[in-house]
Structure 1
Amino acid sequence: MRKIERLVYTNQNGESVEFSHDSLYHTDDVSGLADVRNTIYSVNSMGQDGDTYVGNRIESREIEIVGCIRSRKKEEMLALRRRLNKVLNPQLSATLTYSYGDFIRVIDCKANNAPVYAKPGVFAGFTVNLLCLDPFWRENAETKAAVASWLGSLEFETEIPMDTGMELGYREPSRIVNVFNAGDVGTGIRAEFRATGTVSNPEILNVDTGEYLRFNNLTLSAGDLLTVSTHYGRKVCTLKQNGAVTDALRYLDVDSAFLQLVPGDNLFRYSATAGENNLEVSVYHNNKYLGV
């Protein structure tokens, strides 16, 4: 397959359409994929020359896709138009995936309105407007950093016991890991604390800033999974025990911070008041980018 730019819109029901030069929804022009708008906040006072910088924010992203339905058959064109209306339902959340060969980026979006169609010609033209409240593109899959885990070590052709074998490995001795954020901006994390035995009050610490996520009055047993998300708008803590998932926010220490990654290196260390060696910790994140 030759390399071309493709945009695939997928709504929350799993329905999708592709916009590209190869698609029946042929693209003529696309804007908003790379540019972002930055708003700078400042203050001033009487007698001051200029302004004093206070802060800034990246505005939400707007993407416009202009193209045409590539069909000369009236019935087929109408069917493709109905499908485009159905998939781009403004009431449904969606993702937009940009790909060029092996290069893939994803962004959350919603249709601003139903597609706008031009007057019928040889091909029916359309304009699609998308709003991305989170303006950053991300990679297709999360990046994982294991703070504490078991590593495979030896393997033999002979299996003892017969047909089942025996796994031989060792525990990663370091309790510190560097979580590298290769993106353009900071991002939240998803941390998983998995217990292989009894663990009391697990904690993960940002070595560089001194901020931490600590859980009090919480004891994990073998097989328990504690998950924390620190993403903006998706800050949750859940505890999975014996297949049941409950809210674990009540165990979170009041001085805890919802840890964020800065671009580049981020050192994290895990600990527990008891049972540190029974704890496996993994940190997941999405690298975020200003454009494609």
Structure 2
Amino acid sequence: MSDIKVVCTSDKNVSLTFTWDDFTPFHLVDIEGIYGIESNVVTSENTTTDGSTYQGATAKERNIVITVEMDSNYKENRNLLYRTFPIKRTGTMQYIEDGEAKAIEYEVESVIQGATTGVVRDYTISLKCTDPYFKDLADIEVVMASWVSDFYFPACFPEEGRIFGHREADLVKEIENESGADNIGIVVIFRADGAVKNPAIYHTESGEFTKVGYSDNDFIMSSGQYVIINTYTGKKNAYLLDGVTQAEIENHKDNYGVIDWDTVIEKYGTVINEYLDEDGEFIQLQDGTNTLTYTADEGTNYLSVSVYYRISYLGV
């Protein structure tokens, strides 16, 4: 099992790596709660009907329990363990197997000491994951419409003029979700290169849509403005970015070179939920094929559109 590595990082960026085959400085003895998933199934009974009626189900929180050992520098390593797993705080666990990594966020429940004497001493760490799904480490970007540069060096300027760029647009994009998980949030980025009225994105399979602006409450985007729709559970909002340059946005990238839209929203965003069409929903990806389309009441050709998502997994 030497191909498995567990990396836990606190919200203060204190990190520990656990492996099966070495003390680094802790040796991984056991890890529970990472495989599979459980759900709460709600049913109702009727006195005149056999069996029960299915009402719905929700995934249970995940409890990950890690058992580790140390064989030297006991006081120093204890303090490192407490700094990495402070109670009432959060962190992120990466599970890496055969070079493939998935991550999950957690709240620290407990750090319990086992043996207090002897060369090898053990600790048990309990982590609660209120969002029970493992996820990829970085977002995937799907570009639906954008401007592509045609300008390059060495440059020449013929009499008939030169095309500096062209627009590429796919009104329909399919996203395949083969993880088995439903209700995966997305971040939709609308950027206007001219006047745009009431932009919207649609999920074909469900028939649901999210639209900013509607009859009697129109929303007009001006050139250079961004509308961001976040459909992640707990983060469902629509935002406006006004007066923010692409260069400023590009300054906020994660360790994998992908724009950190949470940071961008926090720094520059203004909530515009009052413009959301009440007939719409915050669309999310479901298990299987997800067909997304976009439109606007006016100015669709002035839209640049990207969708960011991160697939959720039922286990590792």
TM-score by length of 1: 0.89
**CA displacement at 1:239 relative to structure 2:** 1.0
Is contact 2:147-2:168 (8 Å) kept? yes
1:183 counterpart = 2:182: no
Distance 1:168 1:69 in 2: 62
Greater share of strand: 1
* Alignment match of 2:90 (pick from 80, 89, 93): 93
Amino acid at match of 1:236: N
Distance 2:153 2:48 in 1: 82
Amino acid at match of 2:221: L
Distance 1:115 1:151 in 2: 56
TM-score by length of 2: 0.83
Determine the structure 2 residue equivalent to 1:67. 68
**CA displacement at 1:157 relative to structure 2:** 5.5
Amino acid at match of 1:185: A
The percentage of counterpart residues that share the same residue type is: 28
Determine the structure 1 residue equivalent to 2:16. 17
Determine the structure 1 residue equivalent to 2:224. 223
Amino acid at match of 2:55: V
Cα distance change on mapping 1:107 and 1:221 into 2, 3 Å: same
Cα distance change on mapping 1:199 and 1:70 into 2, 3 Å: farther
- Equivalences for 1:204-243 in 2 at 5 Å? 204-216=201-213, 217-243=218-244
**CA displacement at 1:173 relative to structure 2:** 3.9
Cα distance change on mapping 1:140 and 1:69 into 2, 3 Å: same
* Alignment match of 2:130 (pick from 130, 133, 136): 133
1:282 counterpart = 2:281: no
Cα distance change on mapping 1:167 and 1:16 into 2, 3 Å: farther
Distance 1:253 1:127 in 2: 49
Determine the structure 2 residue equivalent to 1:44. 45
Aligned residues: 282
Is contact 2:212-2:275 (8 Å) kept? yes
Is contact 1:202-1:271 (8 Å) kept? yes
Cα distance change on mapping 1:183 and 1:189 into 2, 3 Å: same
Distance 1:290 1:167 in 2: 48
**CA displacement at 1:100 relative to structure 2:** 2.1
Is contact 1:205-1:268 (8 Å) kept? yes
Q: CA RMSD in A?
A: 2.1
Determine the structure 2 residue equivalent to 1:267. 291
1:192 counterpart = 2:216: no
Distance 2:166 2:68 in 1: 57
1:111 counterpart = 2:135: no
Distance 1:59 1:9 in 2: 22
Is contact 1:84-1:115 (8 Å) kept? no
Determine the structure 1 residue equivalent to 2:154. 158
Distance 1:275 1:253 in 2: 18
Distance 1:194 1:174 in 2: 15
Cα distance change on mapping 1:170 and 1:180 into 2, 3 Å: farther
**Structure 1 stretches of 5 or more lacking a match?**
none
Distance 1:40 1:215 in 2: 35
**CA displacement at 1:159 relative to structure 2:** 2.7
Distance 1:257 1:15 in 2: 39
Amino acid at match of 2:12: N
Cα distance change on mapping 1:147 and 1:3 into 2, 3 Å: farther
Distance 1:116 1:278 in 2: 61
Distance 2:282 2:192 in 1: 21
**CA displacement at 1:169 relative to structure 2:** 4.3
Amino acid at match of 2:9: T
**CA displacement at 1:250 relative to structure 2:** 1.6
Q: Describe the SS at the equivalent of 1:194.
A: strand
